[in-house]
Chains A and B, each alone.
Chain A
Amino acid sequence: MAYTHRVPQAGAVGRSRIVAVEADVLGYNNELAAANRAWLAERGILALNLVSSPGSGKTALLCRTVTALMDQGEAVAVIEGDQQTSHDAERIRATGAAAVQINTGKSCHLDAEMVGKALNRVPLDEEGVLFIENVGNLVCPAAFDLGEAHKVVLLSVTEGDDKPEKYPDMFAAASALVITKTDLLPYVPFDVDKAVRAARMLNPDLAVMTLSSTTGAGMASWLHWIGQQRE
Chain B
Amino acid sequence: MLEMALTHGILRLLEEQAATHGFSRVKTIWLEAGGLTEGDRHSLTFAFRAASVGTLAEGAELSLCNRPGGPAGLRLTDLEVE
Chain A residues with CB under 8 Å of chain B are 1-8, 13, 15-29, 106-109, 111, 139-140, 143-144, 169, 172
Contacts and interface: CB of A to CB of B under 8 A. Distances in A.
B81 A17 contact: yes
A24 B73 contact: yes
Contact of B31 (A2, A13, A25, A107): A25
B62 to A, nearest CB: 7
How many chain B residues sit at the interface, stated as a range, is 35 or more
Contact of B80 (A1, A17, A26): A17
A172 B72 CA distance: 11
B9 A26 contact: yes
A1 B60 contact: yes
Interface of B: 1-2, 4-6, 9-10, 12-13, 17, 21, 23, 27-28, 30-31, 41, 45, 48-49, 59-64, 72-82
Which secondary structure dominates where chain B touches chain A? mixed
A144 B77 CA distance: 20
A20 B77 contact: yes
A82 to B, nearest CB: 15
12 contacts: A3-B61, A8-B78, A15-B82, A16-B80, A25-B31, A25-B75, A26-B73, A26-B74, A107-B5, A109-B1, A139-B2, A143-B73
Contacts of B49: 1
